Amino acid sequence: MSLQQQPKPVDSLPPHAPLTRYYGDGPDAERQRYVVDLFNKTARHYNTIERLLLNGGLWYRRSCLRRAGLGPGMRVLDVAIGTAAVARGAAQLVGPKGRVFGVDPTRGMLNEAKKVFHGPLTRGVAERLPFASDYFDFVTMGIALRHVSDLVATFREYHRVLKPGGTVWILEGHTPTSGIGRSVNRFMMGRVVPGMTLLFTRSRDAKLLMDFYWDTVEQSVPPDRILQAMTDVGFEGLQHRVVSPVCEYIGKKRAS
Ligand SMILES: C[S@@+](CC[C@H](N)C(=O)[O-])C[C@H]1O[C@@H](n2cnc3c(N)ncnc32)[C@H](O)[C@@H]1O
């Protein structure tokens, strides 16, 4: 992209177009309440959904983190810890000399995390992190970027809490650009996975969570806007790797 074509930095960027059929068209606080409420209602089913995918997601998250450079002795903040699918892998990689902190706004998810994760847990949102500046070697976020209210505020916070030279690693849902790839993905993630979720959990809320997952992924801002927002707040050495149906975003805070 030439300098002339580069978009101007924006002050805020919602992660996806409004999905009013889920939470109406009121202020963003209503969307946030809806998201937290949905995760509270479905927290006890989240690991069943992971098991439907043969827990491959746990292995995958850990191997991506290792490849991104997470290693022994590091201090990590896992944002949107959920049931600790990322944090468990991170804790194995940093070992006894490292430390993994978890943050999430949903009490139900934090309660599930406590069953399998023994690091410090805090209630909070990505857009306003309750942590000191220049404190973490790594900030991680698994499958939750679409739930924040503003990508720019979120990336500013990630940049603030990272030490100079620190790494941000984000795993997110991905929609292929080709017509056929998109159709296959839509069928699997938009139909098969919600259907299987209903069958195995017998919970309409858990199915709704997976419907919502697909709609937010499909309506998400494209990867180049996400990478641009990361650049705008100061991240360098950006990488974007796609292994459909997910993708990774990696960036570094400049070493001082
Ligand atoms: C799909 S779960 C992901 C859990 C886990 N990170 C993983 O990789 O499986 C999404 C999580 O995002 C959390 N969340 C929702 N809004 C958030 C926000 N604004 N900031 C941080 N986390 C948020 C939810 O409470 C939920 O636990």
Span 169-187, pLDDT tens digits: 999 999 888 888 889 888 9
In a domain, 76, yes or no: yes
Instruction: Decide if 37 contacts 108 (C-beta within 8 A).
Output: no
**Lookup result for tokens 């209210």:** 149
In whole numbers, what is the pLDDT of the chain averaged over residues?
93
Query: Which residues 6+ apart lie within 8 Å of 112 measured at CB?
Result: 43, 44, 46, 47, 82, 83, 84
pLDDT band at 19 (very low <50, low <70, confident <90, very high): very high
In a domain, 5, yes or no: no
Q: Which atom of ligand 1 is nearest to the CA of 149?
A: 19
Predicted TM-score (pTM) of this structure: 0.94
The CATH number assigned to the domain holding 248 equals: 3.40.50.150
pLDDT in the model for residue 47: 83
d(CA 16, CA 43): 23
Number of compact structural domains in the chain: 1
pLDDT in the model for residue 55: 65
Domain that holds residue 59: 20-176+210-252
d(CA 115, CA 40): 16
Percent of the chain with pLDDT over 90: 77
> Smallest Cα–Cα separation from 141: which of 128, 160, 154?
154
- Residue 80 Cβ contacting ligand 1 at under 6 Å: yes
DSSP-assigned letter for residue 16: B
d(CA 52, CA 200): 8
In a domain, 197, yes or no: no
d(CA 135, CA 161): 6
Q: Is the dihedral of CA 221, 223, 224, 229 positive or negative?
A: positive
pLDDT in the model for residue 1: 45
In a domain, 1, yes or no: no
Look at 106-110, 120-124, 186-190 and tell me which has the smallest mean pLDDT.
186-190
pLDDT in the model for residue 63: 95
Instruction: Decide if 230 contacts 238 (C-beta within 8 A).
Output: yes
| Mean pLDDT on 179-204 | 89
- Residue 68 Cβ contacting ligand 1 at under 6 Å: no
- Residue 153 Cβ contacting ligand 1 at under 6 Å: no
In a domain, 168, yes or no: yes
pLDDT of 103 higher than 50: yes
224 alpha carbon – ligand 1 mean position (Å): 22
Backbone angles phi, psi at 101, to 5 degrees: -105, 145
- Residue 65 Cβ contacting ligand 1 at under 6 Å: no
In a domain, 229, yes or no: yes
pLDDT band at 165 (very low <50, low <70, confident <90, very high): very high
d(CA 249, CA 130): 23
pLDDT in the model for residue 185: 86
Look at 69-78, 86-95, 184-193, 213-222 and tell me which has the smallest mean pLDDT.
184-193
d(CA 248, CA 38): 25
In a domain, 8, yes or no: no
Q: Count, in order, helices (H) and strands (E) of the chain.
A: 11, 7
pLDDT in the model for residue 243: 83
Q: pLDDT tens digits for 115-161?
A: 999 999 999 999 999 999 999 999 999 999 999 999 999 999 999 99
Beta strand pairing call for 246-252 and 236-243: antiparallel
202 alpha carbon – ligand 1 mean position (Å): 22
Identify the H or E element spanning 57: helix 56-67
pLDDT in the model for residue 4: 52
Strands of the chain, DSSP E:
75-79, 99-104, 121-123, 136-142, 162-173, 236-243, 246-252
pLDDT of 3 higher than 60: no
In a domain, 133, yes or no: yes
- Residue 150 Cβ contacting ligand 1 at under 6 Å: no
pLDDT in the model for residue 250: 98
pLDDT of 15 higher than 90: yes
